[in-house]
Structures are given as structure tokens and as C-alpha cells.
Structure 1
Amino acid sequence: MTSAQLFDQIRQKKSYLCIGLDTDIQKLPRHLLELEDPVFEFNRQIIEATADLCVAYKPNIAFYEALGPKGWESLEKTVAILPKNCFSIADAKRGDIGNTSELYARAFFDRMQFDSVTVAPYMGEDSVKPFLGHKGKWVILLALTSNMGSRDFQLLNTENSEMLFETVLRTSSQWGDASQMMYVVGATQTAYINKVRQIVPDHFLLVPGVGAQGGSLPEISKAGFNKQCGLLVNSSRQIIYASSGEDFAEKAREAALAVQQEMAQLLDEYLPE
């Protein structure tokens, strides 16, 4: 999916919502646990209930890896049913030397057919370039995350009198352009979003931290929008665990609809057609 196609979906659906499929088997509704593949069935119902309200889905790979081969099977089945008009993100946070990164890229791009994968840039250009070598696929680099520990390194001042996350953005933006790279910027980091946009004005930002982590959708939208919206705002727990009963998919839809309606208002306000 190109950036133009993604923006077209944002316009059509009046949404820039990404739903995180952080599917924890310990949190699934009890009635699903009797099934052969409760993780996949949970995902299937969530997807069917929300596909018209979001533009992206983001399975967090750790929740599937933790289940061993069965988890990988559930993940592959989930990716296979994702709507073609929704951007798919493998939230894997990989980052290793070149030959290993190439194998990670093959796994998520060639085998599983994800549109994108999250990558940690700490090991530098040669750990990221293999992902960028796959035509039509996206790399989403961790830049400024929403967790408390982000300040341990990301906000440190460098010898260039800028914070480390700024150096990451400035340097990595030379490795690929806005047609193949996005950045993770947490919704709890609104104080720095203007700095982010000064360095990467045209890139899409994947924004976790709205909802359960307390990030403000209006604040991040006002500060982070560019001419193509430029945001994919992720919500996971607030939506997929809106209910633990047999009505979980219905309640997930209600939660997603509430976010989508707020997004529609913000798009009309800041990006009128």
C-alpha cells in the first residue's frame, strides 16, 4: 500500500485508527477457550466488527511468539484475513545486523505478507537497509516511544546539542524517504511533536499511547497532522478488551466507533476537503 492509497483510505473512512491486535490468551472471553484456535477466532471477530472503522491493524508479535508454533499459526491465519484496504503492521521491533535483518524481512514481508514491520534503529543503517530493500514494503522506525523509560536514552542531549531521538530522525531520514518509512512517536510525547515534524514533515507517524496509556487524541492530531494526515493512531486494549463477555466484538465495535467519530471531527477541522 502506497502513502497515497493509505491517505485515500483515511479520507474514505474518515479515520486514521490503527487497531492493535495484542491478543493475550489469558484475557480472552472464556467461551472462546473451548475452540481449537481461540486467538484466531477472537481476532477474526474483532476484524469483522471493526474493518470499516479503521485503516490499519497491528498484531504485536510477542503475543503470538509466546504461544510457540500454535501462536505463529494463529498469526498467519490472522494476516491472511486482514482486509486489503487496511494497512498491516508487524509490531516486531526487530533490529540486528544486516544478514539477520534480511531474514526478518523475508519472514514478515515475503512469508507473512505484512505491509510493514517495526524496527529498532539502534544498530544503525546496515541493520535497517535490508528491510528497505523490499519493494512496496514499509519500515516503521522507533523514534520517540510512549513508555516511561523512553527518557532514559531518547531524550538525552547529544554532542550536536539535540536530543537523541532528533538525531535518530535526522540520520535515518537519509536512509529512505516518506514513501517507505514511518516513525513511532508516542501519544504521550506531545511536547516534542513539533520537533519531530520539523525534521520529518512528510512522513507518516505511528502513534501508540492513546487510550489505556493516557495520550490525548486531539493534542496529538493538532500537532502531528500533515497535508496527508500523516498519522496512524493506535489503540489496542481500549478497543479489543472493551468486554470480556460473549458481546466482546460488539463492544469492540462501539469503542472503535467512538474513536473513529472523534477522528472524523478532527479531520474535518484540520484537513477539510
Structure 2
Amino acid sequence: MELTRLVEQIRKKKSFLCIGLDVDLEKIPTHLLKDDDPVFAFNKAIIDATNHLAVALKPNIAFYEALGIKGWESLKKTIEYINENYPELFTIADAKRGDIGNTASMYAKAFFEDLNFDAVTVAPYMGKDSVEPFLAFKEKHTILLALTSNPGAFDFQTKELEGKPLYQNVLETSKTYVNSENLMYVIGATKAEYLKDIREIIPESFLLVPGVGAQGGSLEEVCKYGMNDNVGLLVNSSRGILYASKGEDFAQKAAEKAFELQSQMTKFL
């Protein structure tokens, strides 16, 4: 998907909400467990109930891989359902892959060609030859882990290298990669105070921002320091929306939670 289409959807829906489809069989409504494919049944209901409020959907691949072949089948059915019924939604494979050469190329093929996601998250620790194979795909986007929302981010990401934090080195170096215009970046909402400096390095790039809600990130702070002329933000919420109810009204309750976030976003737009 071209980013102009994503920006159009943000303006049309007055939303920059990304919903994370992190499906845990222990948390979904028990009545769905009778279905032949409870994961897909859950996803379908959530997608149908919230598609008008969100501009992006982000399955966390680990939740599907943990279920073996059945989980991968559920993932494939989910992405096909989105692409066939809601092609305006920007789809992100939250896979956090990071390997070099032919391996990176195969990961890229898996998510961009076989599953037809619009974007995939990638870890940059192994350098450009772990990222450029993803960037080679036209109209696909590589979302680089830059400054994450977890406590362990301080182990490495903020440590100084050559007089500046490592995450800033990552941002600056990534701009030199072939097809770097296809890069987006993960910046955790719990690190909102860093966004001003980040925007000085990558003023035009889209940022995928997890950590609003359950992890304590502030939407107001993220928008204050991270928004650009094209909005430039996809703010993700997963658990707070998905598991608003364990009853048969789970999809309706999820939509209500999504509407709460979308309504807040409207104010900042």
C-alpha cells in the first residue's frame, strides 16, 4: 500500500489507530472455543466490529506460531479476510525478524508475497543486510525497531555509542539504506519524551507506537512530540481493545474501547 492511501484513511476516519491482533486462546470468550477455528472466529468478529475506527491491523506473529500449523492457517485466513473485505486497512506482520542475506529475503517473501502484508517489523541489530532485503519490495514497508516500550530497552537502546544513544545511531544509519523511503519505525509510547529528538532525525517517517493504554503511555504526549504534517503516527492498542469482554458481546465491547481511543485521536487531528 502506498502511504498516500494510508494518510487518506487517517484523514477520512479521523483516526490513526492500529489494533494489535494478539490472540490468546486463554483470554478469548469460551464460547468461541467450540468453533473449528476459534482464533479466526475471534479475529473476524473484532475486524468486522472495528474496521471503521482503525486504519491498521497488526497480528503479533508469535501468538499464531505458538499454535503450530493451525495457528499459521488462522493467520493466513485472517490476512486474506482483511485484504478481501477491508483492503483500505494497512496490515502489519509484527514478526520482529532479524537475519541476513538469503534468510532475510525468505522472511520478506513469506510476509510480503505469500501472506501479502503491507508491512513487517524488523530488528536492525545485524545491520543493513538484515534490513535491505525487506526494503527491496515495492510498495511494502519495513518497520524498524528503534526505541521500544519495554523496560529492557534501556539495556542497549539508550546506551551511548560515539557520543549519542544507540537508537539515534540506528535511525541515522538506516537513512543510508537502499530504498530507505520504505522505512517506518517502532517508537514506544512509554518513551514519548524522546520523540522530539527522534523527529529531528526522521521528520517525515511514520512511527508505529505501542504502549498506549495497558503499558501506561500517554496519547497526548505522543501526539505533542511525534505528530507531523501527515500525522505520521500509528498508535497501537491490543489487550485494551481485544479483551474488553469475555462474553458474547466481546466484539461490541471491543468496538466501544476502539471508539474511545479514536475519539481522543480526533481531538489531536
**TM-score class, shorter:** over 0.9
* Deviation at residue 120 of structure 1 after TM alignment: 0.1
Q: 1 CA distance for matches of 2:187 and 2:241?
A: 20
Q: Is contact 1:139-1:182 (8 Å) kept?
A: yes
**Mapping of residues 171-190 of structure 1, within 5 Å:** 171-176=173-178, 179-190=181-192
Q: 1 CA distance for matches of 2:180 and 2:107?
A: 22
* Deviation at residue 240 of structure 1 after TM alignment: 0.6
Q: Is contact 1:146-1:208 (8 Å) kept?
A: yes
TM-score, normalisation: structure 1: 0.96
Q: Is contact 1:21-1:43 (8 Å) kept?
A: yes
* Deviation at residue 179 of structure 1 after TM alignment: 4.0
Q: 1 CA distance for matches of 2:181 and 2:267?
A: 27
Q: Which runs of 4+ in 1 moved over 3 A?
A: 176-179
* Deviation at residue 176 of structure 1 after TM alignment: 4.7
Aligned length: 266
When structure 1 is superposed on structure 2, of 172-181 and 10-19 the one drifting more is 172-181
Q: Is contact 1:178-1:203 (8 Å) kept?
A: no
Q: 1 CA distance for matches of 2:134 and 2:242?
A: 29
Q: Summarize deviations over 1:157-208 as a string: whole Å, max 9, x none.
A: 112x110000000001121566411000000001111111010000000000
**Mapping of residues 108-127 of structure 1, within 5 Å:** 108-127=111-130
Q: 2 CA distance for matches of 1:56 and 1:263?
A: 14
**Mapping of residues 1-273 of structure 1, within 5 Å:** 1-82=1-82, 83-159=86-162, 161-176=163-178, 179-267=181-269
Identity, % of aligned pairs? 59
Q: Is contact 1:2-1:179 (8 Å) kept?
A: no
SS in 2 for 1:175: coil
Kindly report the root-mean-square deviation, in angstroms, between the aligned alpha carbons of the 2 structures. Answer: 0.8
Unaligned runs of 5+ residues in structure 1 are 268-273
SS in 1 for 2:241: helix
TM-score, normalisation: structure 2: 0.98
Q: Is contact 1:88-1:114 (8 Å) kept?
A: yes
Q: Is contact 2:186-2:207 (8 Å) kept?
A: yes
Q: Is contact 1:178-1:204 (8 Å) kept?
A: no
Q: Summarize deviations over 1:105-141 as a string: whole Å, max 9, x none.
A: 0000000000000000000001111001111100000
